[in-house]
Structure 1
Amino acid sequence: MIILGLAGCGKSKSDSHENVRGNYTAQSVTKGEVDGSISNASYDMDAGLEMTGLYVEEELLPEQFNAEEYNAITENNFKSVKNYPMSTFSVDVDTASYSNVRRMITSTGEVVPDAVRIEEMINYFKYDYEKPTGDLPFSVNTELSDCPWNKDAKLLLIGLQARDIDLDDRPSSNLVFLLDVSGSMNSPNKLPLMQKAFIMLTENLNENDRISIVTYAGDERVVLQGARGDETMKIVSALEDLMAGGSTAGAAGIQRAYDLAEEYFIEGGNNRVILATDGDLNVGITSEGELTRLIENKRKNGVYLSVLGFGTGNIKDNKMEALADNGNGNYSYIDSVLEAKKVLVDEMGGTLFTVAKDVKLQVEFNPAYIKGYRLIGYENRLLNTEDFDDDTKDAGEIGAGHRVTALYEIALLTSEQEIPESDLKYQSEQRLIDSNEWLTINIRYKEPDQDRSQLLSVPVDESNYSSVMPENLSFASSVAAFGMILRDSKWKKDTSYDMILGILDNLELSADEYKDEFVSLVKKMKRVG
C-alpha cells in the first residue's frame, strides 16, 4: 500500500503551512504506483478525516436517489466538403468529463454515455507540442496519419499550446471562493475534499492577492473578506471551520460573490469567482436565463467564473458546464486530492490566468483532395460559419500553459468512406483553386484586454502526412477511441480495447502518471467487458 504523506512541507512564508491544522500541503501529495490496476492508496490528516482509495468515493445507499444530470450528446457525423466546406467550433479547455468518467470507472465500472465528452477527455492530458514564439499566445501544431479504427480515413490532430507564465511574476489575483456548504455537501468526497483543495491553492498566493470567501446554504454568508494572500492562517482557518448543513441558495451566493469581486477589483489583474459545489443551485434566482445573464454581464466587466464539481449522486454536470462557459472560465471535476493538486496547484496558471479569449477554430477543406470529414467531440461547442468573423460572438478561453487538441477523421477523394451529400440544383460546379493544400486551419483569438480578434492561418498538405503515427496523435487517438467505446459510438468501427492497448504499448508513458493511469483504466474496462 502506498502512503500519501501529509506532513507539513509548505512554503517559507511568515504564515507557513507547517502551522496549519492537519499539515496538509500540495507538495505532500503523490500518486501511488500503477501496475495494470487502479492503485490503492490511503491518506489521512492530523485533524481528522481518514480516506481510503486513490479516489474518495461515496457509496450510494439503496434508498439514496442518484440525481446526477447530463446533457444529451448527439455525435458529429461525417459531412460532405461539397456541401459543408467549413467546420467551425469554439475551443474547450474543460477537463471535468475525464475525471468524472474516471470516478465512475473506479467506483462501479459503469459509465453514463452522456457524461463522456471526448474533447475533454483528450484535453485532460499533456502533449509534446512546440511552445509559442514571439508575442503569440499559443503555438499551432498539426499531425496527420492513418486512422487506427477506420481504414477509409486519415486522422488529423490540431494542437494549440498556450504560453506559460512565471508564477513569481504573474498578475495579482482577486479571488472569491464561492463554496456550497448545504446539507448535500456533508460527505467525505464533498466538503472535506473541497476544503483540502482550496487549502492547497493558498500555497501560491502572495501579499498582492486578495481572497474572499462566501458560503451558501440556507442563505449566503461572508466568511472572509479581502484578506491578503499571505495571510495564510486566516484563510486556512476560515476554510477549516466550514460545516455543511441547510438547503441551497446558490444564485443569491453568486450575487454576493460578484459584489465582493467588484469591491476588490484589481485593474490588469485576475479577477475571478471560483464556485465549488456538488451541483445544486435550487434557491434564489430560479430562472436559468436570469442567472446566465448575470454571469455574462459580470464577464463583460472583467470578472470571470470557474467551476469545481465535487461528489457523487447529485452532480449537475449540465448546469455547471454552462455556468463556466458563460463566465469565461473552466469547469473541472475534483474526484481526489491528487486531482485537486493538478487543477489548483500544478496547473494553476491555466486555471486562473487567461492568455487568449474568444478562441475559435475554422477548418476549410479543399474539395480537390477531401470529400468528407468528421470532427470528434466538441458537439456543444459548434459554431455557425459566420460566427467565426463575428467578434461579438463569445467563444472559449485558453489559460496559461493550457493545451487544446482537436481530432478530425478525413476521407480523401479516393476513400470508400460513405459521405452523405446533397445535390445542389441551382449551384454550378465549384471552381477549384490550383493548390496542393488539403485544408487550412484558421484561428481567431483576442488578447485578454482587447475586443478585436486576430487571425492565424496554417495550411496542411500531403507533406504533413506520416505513415508512422506520431506520439501525440497516437495517444490522443487512443483516448478518443476509448471515449467512443464508452459512448458506444456508431463511428467506433474497428475500435476495441485491444486496439487501444496495442497503441499504448508502443508509447513510453511511465514518466507521466496521468497517462500511465489511463492505461490502467482501459485495462479495467476490458476486464469489466
Structure 2
Amino acid sequence: MRTKAILITLISLFLIGNLSAKSISGTVSDESNSPMPGVSIIIKGSSYGSVTNIEGKYTIEANENDILIFGFIGMIAQEIKVKQQNIINVILKAEKIGLDEVIVQGYSTKQKKEQKINRMYSPLQGRVSGIAIMEECESLEIMDYDSEEDFNTEGYSTIRENGYKSAVKSPLSTFSIDVDAASYSNVRRFLEEGTKPPIDAVRIEEMVNYFNYDYLQPNDEHPFSITNEVAECPWNSENLLLHIGLQGKKIETENLPASNLVFLLDVSGSMDSPNKLPLLKKAFKLLVGQLREDDRVAIVVYAGNSGLVLPSTSGNRKEDILNALNRLNAGGSTAGASGLKQAYKVASENFIDGGNNRIILATDGDFNIGQSSNAEMERLIEKEREKGIFISVLGFGMGNYKDDKMEIIADKGNGNYAYIDNILEAKKVLVNEFGGTLFTIAKDVKIQIEFNPAVVAEYRLVGYENRMLASEDFEDDTKDAGELGSGHSVTALYEIKLMKNKKKQDQELKYQNTSLNATAYSGNELATVKFRYKKPDGQKSLLLEKIITNTRIDKRELSNNFKFSASVAGFGLLLRDSKFKGNCSYEMLINLAQQSKGEDKEGYRSEFIQLMKLANQL
C-alpha cells in the first residue's frame, strides 16, 4: 500500500511539472547572422531535446529554471536559463579549431549498444547529438557509436556480364556511351583500404574511361573523332580485340559558354565525417577558382529540409561564394527530393539561353526522406531535363554510400558522375577536366555496330552492361543516352571470335531463312559502326558511319591507347573474377600497362600500375 502511495505521489509531481512546461522557440545563428540548421538544443541534466530546421528555427517544451544547452560541431556551446521569456534567440561563436580538423563519431555507421531510458516526453522528430528521438514512443534510445564494428550499407546496381552473341542471330550491338569514371576512384578507395571491392562496384567501362587517350581531335563539322584498332586479344590469343575510341572536341575555358550553376549540397547528418562534407567543401573551393565573371553560382543545401544558402551570384564574387561554403555544417536527415526540386527551381529562374545550365549534386547518396526510391527519382529528373538543365553528380564517403542512386540521377539528368575519394581526385574532375565535367558538346550519343557474320562468329562487348540498348532504340530520338563533354574521350572494347568456315553462316529457322549477301563475303569488312548524337540544344539526331576492316595490327605496332585500355579492362576482369578473364594475370597486365604508360603528365597511369601491384598482394 505504501509503495502504491509513493507511486501516485511521483506521478502527480511529474504531471504538475509537465503542466508548468511552456513552449520556447527561437532562431540560432552564427556570428554573421546566418541561420544554422542542425543545432542541438538539450535540457541540461536530461536526454530531452530538439534541433533547428533549415532556417535555424527550433521549438522545445521546457520549465522555468531549466537550462538549455545549444551545441553544434565546431562552435562554442551556450547554456541559457529559462525564465519568463518564450523566445530565445542565440548566436553561436566558432571554436578556434576548424570543422575540417574535427572527427565526429556521433553520426558514423559504428554502433555497439543501445541504452533505453524510460520517460515521457513530447513527440519530436530528428536527431540531436547522436540521440535518436522517436516519434510517439515512450522510450528514448541513446546510441553509443564508439564500437569498432562496421555496418556497411553501401548500395550498387547488379551487373550481369555481357556474354558472347552470335553474329548470325544477333548481328547488331547497341549501347549508350558512358563517360562516368566513378567506379575507378571508388575501386581505388577499397584497394587502398586493403580490401577488394564488391563485384558490382567494378564497372569496367568506367575504369577504362577514367583515363585520357591520345586520340586525334575532330577536324570536321562533327564534335568528335573516331579511332579503331584490331589486334590479338591480350588475354585470349585465339580471339581478336576491337578497340573503338571517340574523342570529344576540346573547347578552351575562355571560349566556353557562360554557366548558370547550382551547387546542390547534402549537409545531412550522414555527411558528418572528414571524407564527406569537409572534403566536399575543399573540392568546391577548387571549382570556384575556375569560375569567370559571366558564370553564376547559387548554393542550395538539404538536410531535414532544403534551403537556399546563396542566391545566384557572379563568378567574380569568389569571396562571397567561399564564405557561403565555409558556413556549411552537417546535421539532420536527408530530404534529397526536396533539395532536387529547389535546385531545379533556382536553375530555372536564372536560366541562360545558349549557356550551360547545370546542377552539381554532391552527396553520399543516402536519400531517406521524401521521394527516396530510384523510380521516383528517375521521374523527377526526367521531367526537368527537357528544359535544358543538366545535372552532374559528385559522390563522397563510404559505409552508407549509395552508388546506385547517384548513377541513376546522373544518367537520367543528362550529366556525368564522379566519385571523390581525395582532394587530388577533386582536382582531376573539377580543375583538370573542368570543361568535360561541366560542358556538354553532344548529347544522347549512341553506338551501334553491325558485325559481318561471314567473318565474325561471336562477339562480346566488354563492360557497358547497364548501358545496353535495344536495336530499335538506335534510331529512336526519344530514347535517352549518354552525353559527351568538352575534351572527353570514350573507349569501347569488343572481344571477337572469328568464323572458321565462311560457307556455313546462313541461319535456318522454321518459318524463315537468313542468308548472307555478297557484301558479307566480298571485301574485307569486319563490322560497320554507326554513331548517333544530338547537339546540346537539339532534338533530332545526326548520323555518322564508319567501316572497320578485318586488318589485324601486329603487336609491335599497337598504339599505347590499345595496350593501356586493354590492361585496364583486364584488371576489371580480374577484380570481378570474370569467367571471361582468360589468361589474365597481374604480371601480364602490369607489363602491358608499363609498356603503354606514355608521357603520363599527371601521374594517373603510374598510380594505376601501383594499384594493380597492391591488388596483386591482396
Same fold flag (TM > 0.5): yes
- Corresponding residue of 1:453: 541
Q: Which residue of 2 aligns with 1:175?
A: 261
The answer to whether the Cα contact below 8 Å between 1:510 and 1:516 also exists between their aligned partners in 2 is no
* Aligned AA (1:267): D
Which deviates further from its counterpart, 393-402 or 108-117? 108-117
**Matched residue, 2:233:** 147
Is the 1:98–1:124 contact (alpha carbons within 8 Å) kept by the matching residues of 2?
yes
Per the alignment, do residues 223 and 136 of structure 1 end up closer, same or farther by CA in structure 2, a change over 3 Å counting? same
1:495 aligns with 584
Q: Which structure is larger by alpha-carbon Rg, 1 or 2?
A: 2
Aligned position for 1:435: 523
Give the CA deviation at 1:247. 0.8
Q: Within the alignment, does 1:206 sit opposite 2:292 as a pair?
A: yes
CA distance in 2, matches of 1:185, 1:275: 13
- Alignment correspondent of 1:21: none
Aligned to 2:123: none
Return the letter of the residue paired with 1:194. L
Instruction: Say whether 1:312 aligns with 2:402.
Output: no
User: Structure 1, residues 406-434: CA drift from partner, whole Å, max 9, x if none?
Assistant: 0000111139xxxxx98633332412323
Which deviations, in whole Å up to 9, do the C-alpha atoms of 1:107-165 show, x marking residues without a partner?
A: 12321111000000000001110110122100001011100111221001100000011
Secondary structure at 2:238 match in 1 = coil
Matching residue of 1:363: 449
Aligned equivalents of 2:200 and 2:261: distance in 1?
A: 32
Give the 5 Å matches for 1:396-435.
396-414=482-500, 424-432=509-517, 433=519, 434-435=522-523
How far apart are 1:48 and its partner, in Å? 6.5
Decide which of 428, 435, 445 is 1:349's aligned counterpart. Answer: 435
Matches within 5 A, 1:122-141: 122-141=208-227
Structure 1 partner of 2:411: 325
Structure 1 runs of 4+ aligned residues shifted over 4 Å read 58-61
Cα distance, 1:318 vs. partner?
A: 0.6
Aligned to 2:87: none
Corresponding residue for residue 568 of structure 2: 479
Match of 1:373 among 438, 459, 463: 459
Q: Which has the higher contact order (CA 8 A, sep 6+)?
A: 1
Percent sequence identity over aligned pairs: 53
Structure 2 residue aligned with 1:34? none
Q: CA deviation at 1:290?
A: 3.1
**1:367, distance to aligned residue in structure 2 (A):** 1.0
CA distance in structure 2 between the aligned counterparts of 1:151 and 1:428, rounded to whole angstroms: 33
Partner of 1:245: 331
Whichever residue aligns with residue 524 of structure 2, its letter is N
Taking the aligned partners of 1:406 and 1:429, their CA distance within structure 2 comes to 29
Partner of 1:462: 550
Q: How does 1:92-111 map to 2 (within 5 A)?
A: 92-111=178-197
**1:189 and 2:279 are equivalent in the alignment:** no
Which residue does 2:252 correspond to in 1? 166
Matched with 1:515 is: 605
Q: Does 1:526 align with 2:611?
A: no
d(CA) in 1 for partners of 2:354, 2:295? 13
Q: For residues 238 and 217 of structure 1, what CA distance do their matches in structure 2 show?
A: 16
Measured in 1, the distance between the counterparts of 2:614 and 2:102 equals 22
SS in 2 for 1:204: coil
Q: Which residue of the other structure, out of 252, 255, 263, is the alignment partner of 2:341?
A: 255
Q: Does 1:156 align with 2:226?
A: no
Q: Distance in 1 between matches of 2:100 and 2:341?
A: 32
Q: Quote how far apart the aligned CAs of 1:298 are.
A: 1.1
TM-score, structure 2 length as denominator? 0.74
By how many angstroms is 1:233 displaced? 0.4
- Matched with 1:12 is none
Distance 1:143 1:51, change over 3 A: farther
Instruction: Please say if residues 507 and 513 of structure 2, whose CA atoms lie closer than 8 Å, have aligned partners that are also in contact.
Output: no
**What amino acid sits opposite 1:515 in the alignment?**
R
Instruction: Verify the 8 A CA contact 1:509 1:516 in the aligned structure 2.
Output: no
Q: 2-side partners of 1:200 and 1:503: how far apart? A: 34
1:151 aligned counterpart, secondary structure: strand
Distance verdict in 2 for CA 1:259–1:140, change over 3 Å: same
